[in-house]
Amino acid sequence: MATTDRQMKSLLVVEDSVLASAGMVALLGHFGYMVTAAGNGRIAEELLEAGPPPDAILLDMRLPEADGWHFLEWLKDTPYRGIPVIVTTGTDLTPEWAAEHGCAGFLKKPFDEDDLLAELERVLGPQ
């Protein structure tokens, strides 16, 4: 149900699995989001600094180079700290942990497209 008559929201997907990242980029693009992907926290930092900032960040926690924990620490001391972050993880983290660390949302891997779209709508409003 992709549409072109609504304002497109932009997302930054921070995910080191090429397959998972490509799947989210394709799915979210189909549903009208503009999506940029980063394979680790360092690349995500560079993309944010290059601008423009996304409307939300989907953040895997286990990443090479700069993992999700490092990225969250870095983010809170930047002008980008107000961008909603949705944690996407297969770890034993919980939605409560994510909320305590300033994250706007949480998805436990594996999640399906309905869960992803519902969490984005909850955080950002309808697309």
Confidence tier at 4 by pLDDT (50, 70, 90): very low
Would the pLDDT of 46 be above 50?
yes
Average pLDDT over residues 71-77: 94
Single pTM value for the model: 0.91
**For strand 10-14 and strand 34-38, is the pairing parallel, antiparallel, or unpaired?**
parallel
Among 66, 58, 74, 51, CA closest to 11: 58
User: Which domains are delineated in the chain?
Assistant: 10-90 (3.40.50.2300)
Determine the Cα–Cα distance for residues 115 and 111; give it in Å rounded to an integer. Answer: 6
